[in-house]
Amino acid sequence: MKTVLQKRKTEIQYRPVGQFEETRFEKIHNVIFSDSNEASIKVAEEIASLIRKKQEAQKHCVLGLATGSSPIRVYEELVRMHQEEGLSFSNVITFNLDEYLPMEKDNRQSYWYFMHEHLFNHIDIPKENINIPDGTIAGENVIDYCLAYEKAIKKVGGLDFQLLGIGRTGHIGFNEPGSHYNSGTRVITLDHITRVDAGPAFLGIANVPRKAITMGIATVMSAKRIILLGWGQNKADIIKKTVEGEISAQVPATYLQDHKNCTFVLDSGAGSELTRNKTPWLVDESLEWTENRTAKAIVWLCSETGKSILSLTDKDYNDNGMSGLLAAEDSYDLNIKMFNRLQHTITGWPGGKPNADDTSRPERAEPAKKRVIIFSPHPDDDVISMGGTFDRLVEQGHEVHVAYQTSGNIAVSDTDALRYAEISKRINPSEEAQTIIDSIKAKKESSFDTLPVRKLKGNIRRGESYAAVRYLGLEDANVHFLDLPFYETGTIKKDNLSEDDIEIMVSIINEVKPHQIYAAGDLADPHGTHKVCLDAVFEAMKRLKDEPFMEDCWLWLYRGAWHEWDINEIEMAVPMSPGQVLKKRNAIFCHQSQKDGVMFQGDDSREFWMRAEERNKDTAARYRALGLSDYAAMEAFVRYKFD
């Protein structure tokens, strides 16, 4: 895939604002890596080097630590360094940023549990050197407790290093909007968005505590060195506000603009909204105008000027930092080229149009009947994300297979499961049905589903998937439930991909020998399951790359429920008529357990069918605004090409 991302960085050493080459828009030093894994390793190296330096000087190393998804890989790497390279933590004293209130240590959602599971249980840090705010502290003792926490930090000489994540509210620690610059460790009421984000881990927002103890802004700012980690597109907006916006209590992380030694370490998703990435022509006059960047800039120019492509003038280009483009061509040629590029992405024949000249079509005409696998991470992404295209592929006579990568069992509510178990018991009063009923009824807030309950939930989703794809005319024999093992933990936290997962993927691709594979390229999925499922597709395809059928196998990426491709990225846009929009809606409706109050709603209160429909309509509206044909809705795809 052609990525439109920024140059790669390989080191994260701090350079004070004004001395780094980035842009006049940025007020916090930041380093963007193409991938969060590599970035995490660099951060771990910086921490390790600080620990060693302090060891040589026979001093303590005082670390402020964060929890959440962002630092997990950093901790993994520190553990690896301890186990394989002998990095010792015997001189390390840690202070964690925060803890929910109330919260027992042994609750799986506690930050105490998190820190021990991810770091402390695997290194040689003396237990007495670990400080994590106590979530069991009773009401009247809290103030003294918080003051004592502050004192303890000062007593050991202050924080040498503070690791941070950032919440979508702009919180650091749990310093939510409204936090004062001078705030110290205290009790805080969590913002609604923070509770929504934590909801899945607690199996529902109602179970997320309303309060927390957090280090204050002043506590964090007192650290000698700060690194904030930001991964994924979900963080892109808040990162832009923090790095480029004005300092404001409404975005507490902006206080970091005043810190003398703070670096944001980002991946390309989190850095994607920064001006230098989003609209680099506004910050760099000597910019190289690649084909993709040109396309991106022209789409942006249309939205800035409110014009369609063919109406853009030389003046529009000049006035908006794009004069460099006019050096080789005038606006007329640029406009026509861009118009044609977009025009050529539109096709009602996603499997290729038989007997047609395909030189400027997104798909090959031959073979006229293709074998197709649609990989769907959860049992509904297929119809949500590409229901219209799915329908056309079947209608146009291709051999379509759908492969559901995970069981999706965790997203079925207990109420639904109980209803099905009771129906089953009424028809056939079995012991198994009764066990399921009993265990659902006995389930506590933080306990996991038993295996039989998970099986039932998975089967509910299977039934719904069959209903949806039968409605689109697919034979049952072409429906595959892969139940990849990495997903089957019974919790939100999933395992890493294993050989077993990859073997299952390899075997289905090998069996079908597809000409087309569709997969979810949606990296903004809040639980990361889509990303893991995509990694599984990549790995399986890599392993099969020498098979002759793979030469003819194209991979098309669709986006799931959370995000759409940018117009300039789209390589195939499949239009839908108003009738097809309704058909797609009905197919999505078959997934009844995911309707009316789904368990993992994310921060968007619309149901999945509404999101999909609005997104598809929006894509069509954007094409229309750029001066292309007027369709009711469109599904969009990007072709992924392996190096």
Mapped onto helix, strand or coil, the DSSP state of residue 480 is: strand
Site string for ligand F6R, 518-557 (x = CB under 6 A): ----------------------------------------
Question: Which stretch, 17-25, 165-173, 413-421, 493-501, contacts ligand F6R (CB under 6 A)?
Answer: 165-173
Among residues 105, 131, 119, 144, the alpha carbon closest in space to that of 44 is found at: 119
Name the one residue in this structure whose structure tokens are 């007192």. 222
| Nearer of residues 172 and 282 to ligand F6R, judged by Cβ | 172
| Nearer of residues 259 and 392 to ligand F6R, judged by Cβ | 259
Question: Which stretch, 60-68, 277-285, 575-583, 623-631, contacts ligand F6R (CB under 6 A)?
Answer: 60-68
Site string for ligand F6R, 420-439 (x = CB under 6 A): --------------------
Question: Which stretch, 12-20, 160-168, 350-358, 576-584, contacts ligand F6R (CB under 6 A)?
Answer: 160-168
Phi first, then psi, for residue 181 (nearest 5°) are: -55, -35
| Nearer of residues 230 and 575 to ligand F6R, judged by Cβ | 230
Interface size with ligand F6R, residues (CB under 6 A): 14
| Nearer of residues 170 and 377 to ligand F6R, judged by Cβ | 170
Q: Give the list of residues 6+ apart from residue 290 with CB closer than 8 angstroms, or none.
A: none
| Nearer of residues 230 and 350 to ligand F6R, judged by Cβ | 230
Name the one residue in this structure whose structure tokens are 């759908």. 402
Candidate residues 75, 112, 149, 174; the one interacting with ligand F6R per rule CB under 6 A: 174
Instruction: Report how far apart the first and last C-alpha atoms of the chain are (Å, whole number).
Output: 9
- Write out the catalytic residue numbers: 176
Q: Does 97 bind ligand F6R (CB under 6 A)?
A: yes
DSSP states along 329-344: S-HHHHHHHHHHHHHT
Shortest distance, position 115 Cβ to ligand F6R, whole Å: 9
Q: In the structure encoding, which two tokens stand for residue 99, read together? A: 């803890």
Candidate residues 64, 133, 135, 165; the one interacting with ligand F6R per rule CB under 6 A: 165
Shortest distance, position 36 Cβ to ligand F6R, whole Å: 11
Q: Does 103 bind ligand F6R (CB under 6 A)?
A: no
From the CA atom positions of the chain, what is the Rg in Å?
26
Q: In the structure encoding, which two tokens stand for residue 276, read together? A: 């230098």
Shortest distance, position 176 Cβ to ligand F6R, whole Å: 9
Name residues contacting ligand F6R, limited to 61-90 (CB under 6 A).
66-70
Q: In the structure encoding, which two tokens stand for residue 473, read together? A: 């005319």
Q: Does 173 bind ligand F6R (CB under 6 A)?
A: yes
Shortest distance, position 175 Cβ to ligand F6R, whole Å: 8
Paired sense of beta strands 211-214 and 98-101, if any: antiparallel
CA–CA separation, 183 vs 507, rounded Å?
57
Q: 144 vs 134, 138, 184, 604, CA distance in Å?
A: 12, 11, 12, 39
Q: Does 264 bind ligand F6R (CB under 6 A)?
A: no
Answer for the pair 263, 227: CB distance below 8 angstroms, yes or no.
Answer: yes
| Nearer of residues 171 and 559 to ligand F6R, judged by Cβ | 171
Report which DSSP code applies to 200.
G
Shortest distance, position 526 Cβ to ligand F6R, whole Å: 9
Phi-psi region of 473 (alpha: psi -120 to 50; beta: other; left: phi over 0): left
Among residues 208, 128, 214, the alpha carbon closest in space to that of 175 is found at: 214
| Nearer of residues 68 and 351 to ligand F6R, judged by Cβ | 68
Question: Which stretch, 2-10, 11-19, 171-179, 240-248, contacts ligand F6R (CB under 6 A)?
Answer: 171-179
| Nearer of residues 241 and 585 to ligand F6R, judged by Cβ | 241
Side-chain half-sphere exposure of 253, counting CA atoms within 13 A:
32
Shortest distance, position 394 Cβ to ligand F6R, whole Å: 39
Strand partners, 31: 265
Q: Does 109 bind ligand F6R (CB under 6 A)?
A: no
| Nearer of residues 531 and 624 to ligand F6R, judged by Cβ | 531
Shortest distance, position 213 Cβ to ligand F6R, whole Å: 11
CA–CA separation, 356 vs 368, rounded Å?
10
| Nearer of residues 241 and 543 to ligand F6R, judged by Cβ | 241
Candidate residues 137, 172, 196, 412; the one interacting with ligand F6R per rule CB under 6 A: 172
DSSP states along 418-459: HHHHHHHHHHS--HHHHHHHHHHHT--TTPPPPHHHHHHHHH
Candidate residues 29, 171, 454, 615; the one interacting with ligand F6R per rule CB under 6 A: 171
- What residue spans of 250-373 are helical by DSSP H? 275-278, 291-305, 314-319, 331-343
Question: Which stretch, 162-170, 306-314, 315-323, 395-403, contacts ligand F6R (CB under 6 A)?
Answer: 162-170
Phi first, then psi, for residue 202 (nearest 5°) are: -95, 10
Report which DSSP code applies to 204.
S
Candidate residues 135, 167, 269, 321; the one interacting with ligand F6R per rule CB under 6 A: 167
Among residues 248, 245, 235, 242, the alpha carbon closest in space to that of 263 is found at: 242
Sheet holding 92-96, edge to edge: 29-33, 262-267, 226-230, 161-164, 61-65, 92-96, 130-131
Candidate residues 26, 98, 316, 391; the one interacting with ligand F6R per rule CB under 6 A: 98
Question: Which stretch, 18-26, 167-175, 404-412, 553-561, contacts ligand F6R (CB under 6 A)?
Answer: 167-175
Name the one residue in this structure whose structure tokens are 């006019």. 326
Q: Give the list of residues 6+ apart from residue 453 with CB closer than 8 angstroms, or none.
A: 417, 436, 439, 440
Shortest distance, position 69 Cβ to ligand F6R, whole Å: 4
Question: Which stretch, 151-159, 172-180, 365-373, 374-382, contacts ligand F6R (CB under 6 A)?
Answer: 172-180
| Nearer of residues 223 and 519 to ligand F6R, judged by Cβ | 223
Name the residue number minimizing CB distance to ligand F6R. Answer: 165
Q: Which residues bind ligand F6R (CB under 6 A)?
A: 66-70, 97-98, 165-167, 171-174
